[in-house]
């Protein structure tokens, strides 16, 4: 089955830039979305269609996609950005969606 691969963890100091990657063969032709999930809460959409930001999401969140890799960038990460982050896209058929394994972001 198709998989999206993310690093298990990323750690930055407050104010630094955090980058979380998501790789998968189908990403060469498919959009990626990104979700933030804080402990005990439902996921929240932070980036959709590679680089669009929903209303209410801070400008420090941005996204990009190049080749088979999508990247979520948090510029000037804050302590409140500590969370698990998941990428989301479809397989090559477009008939099945998949989440990446998730990346735990630590900001301290």
Partner 1 sequence: QLQLQESGPGLVKPSETLSLTCTVSGGSIHSSSYYWGWIRQPPGKGLEWIGSIYYGGSTYYNPSLKSRVTISVDTSKNQFSLKLSSVTAADTAVYYCARQVVPADCSSTSCYRLDYWGQGTLVTVSS
Q: Does 3 help bind partner 1 (rule: CB under 8 A)?
A: no
Give the contact letters, 70-99, x = binds to partner 1 (CB under 8 A), - = no: --------------x-x-xxx---xxxxxx
Instruction: Say if CB 52 and CB 14 are below 8 A apart.
Output: no
Please list, in sequence order, all residues whose beta carbon lies within 8 angstroms of the beta carbon of residue 51, skipping any fewer than 6 positions away.
62, 63, 64, 65
String marking each residue 8-37 x if it binds partner 1 according to CB under 8 A: ------------------x---xxxx-x-x
Q: List 21's β-bridge partners, or say none.
A: 71
Phi, psi of 80 (to 5 degrees): -70, -5
Contact residues for partner 1, defined by CB under 8 A: 1, 26, 30-33, 35, 37, 42-45, 48-49, 54, 84, 86, 88-90, 94-102
């Amino acid at each position: 089955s198709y998989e999206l691969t993310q690093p298990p963890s990323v750690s930055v100091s407050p104010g630094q830039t955090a980058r979380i990657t998501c790789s998968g063969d189908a990403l060469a032709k498919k959009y990626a979305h990104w979700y933030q999930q804080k402990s005990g809460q439902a996921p929240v959409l932070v980036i959709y269609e590679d680089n669009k930001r929903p209303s209410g999401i801070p400008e420090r969140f941005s996204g990009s996609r190049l080749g088979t890799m999508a990247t979520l960038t948090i510029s000037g990460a804050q302590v409140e950005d500590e969370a698990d982050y998941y990428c989301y896209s479809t397989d090559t058929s477009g008939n099945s969606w998949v989440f990446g394994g998730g990346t735990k972001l630590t900001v301290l």
